[in-house]
């Protein structure tokens, strides 16, 4: 990236509203996951204690560890991708119509889903290397590597599609609330993104 391009990106207005909206979206996703994990833990806790006699503490810690891992590996990259879309590609401005706001929210969801998928692929690749020392011991057997790579790519694609489907309503709601807020509190500088310059 050249210095003029990085200067233009750094001077682009609208980062703060995009950051606040995206942080609210990620917070809503996090809250939804925490409440869902809490309810499923409470239900499963009563089942484990009554029927199986297993240690409730170990189940509880495993459930929360899984929830934290899922949020860290999908929601945060989703938020980064959505933020970049709301800031650089298709910012929300008060002069837009509601259909444009929803379309831009969909585009931000696509960017967030792509970021979640890429991070999921990277996370799965690192996990496969950490848990499968046979790659180095077997001098990279081609069949195992292709099977592992296809599984990694498919799990990353599934994470991206799941992020898009699950979090599109959150992103649309966040974009509409940002649009309403911006209509009542206009910015000092006009915002424009790559979509507006094409």
Distances (CA, A) of 151 to 110, 155, 165: 22, 6, 21
pLDDT of residue 77: 94
How many degrees, rounded to 5, is the angle at CA 52 between CA 49 and CA 53?
55
Q: Print the domain residue range for 151.
A: 3-189
Residue 18 lies in a domain: yes
pTM for this predicted structure: 0.80
Residue 197 within any structural domain of the chain: no
Kindly state the DSSP code that residue 2 receives in the 8-state scheme.
-
Count of structural domains, the chain = 1
Structure token pair of residue 16: 């703060």
CA angle 110, 152, 60 (to 5 degrees): 85
Mean pLDDT by 10 residues, the chain (198 residues): 59 85 93 81 66 59 73 88 94 94 97 94 77 54 61 86 94 96 86 80
Q: What is the pLDDT of residue 70?
A: 74
Is residue 94 assigned to a domain?
A: yes
Question: Does 194 fall in a domain?
Answer: no
Structure tokens of 171?
């992103």
Rounded CA-CA distance 190/166 in Å is 32
Distance CA 18, CA 78 (A): 14
Angle at 117 between CA 168 and CA 65, to 5 degrees: 90
Structure tokens at 50: 């009554």
107 assigned to some structural domain: yes
State residue 71's pLDDT score.
Answer: 75
Give me the pLDDT at residue 41, please.
72
Q: What is the pLDDT of residue 65?
A: 76
Q: Which residue's entry shows tokens 């706001």?
A: 101
H/E stretch holding 181: helix 142-184
Backbone angles phi, psi at 93, to 5 degrees: -125, 155
**157 within some domain:** yes
Whether 198 is covered by a domain: the verdict is no
195 domain-assigned = no
Please state, in angstroms and rounded to a whole number, the distance separating the CA atoms of residues 134 and 136: 5
């Amino acid at each position: 990236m050249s210095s003029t391009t990085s200067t233009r990106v750094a001077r682009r207005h609208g980062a703060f509203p995009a950051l606040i909206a995206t942080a609210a979206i990620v917070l809503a996703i996090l809250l939804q996951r925490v409440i869902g994990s809490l309810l499923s833990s409470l239900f499963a806790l009563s089942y484990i204690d009554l029927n199986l006699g297993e240690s409730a503490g170990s189940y509880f810690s495993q459930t929360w560890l899984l929830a934290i891992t899922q949020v860290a590996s999908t929601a945060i990259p989703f938020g980064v991708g959505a933020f970049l879309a709301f800031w650089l590609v298709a910012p929300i401005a008060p002069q837009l119509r509601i259909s444009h706001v929803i379309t831009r929210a969909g585009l931000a969801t696509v960017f967030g889903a792509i970021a979640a998928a890429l991070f999921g692929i990277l996370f799965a690749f690192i996990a496969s290397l950490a848990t499968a020392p046979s790659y180095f011991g077997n001098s990279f057997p081609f069949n195992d590597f292709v099977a592992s790579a296809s599984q990694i790519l498919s799990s990353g694609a599934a994470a991206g599609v799941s992020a898009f489907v699950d979090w599109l309503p959150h992103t649309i709601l966040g974009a509409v609330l940002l649009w309403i807020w911006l209509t009542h509190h206009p910015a000092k500088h006009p915002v424009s993104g790559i979509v507006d310059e094409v």
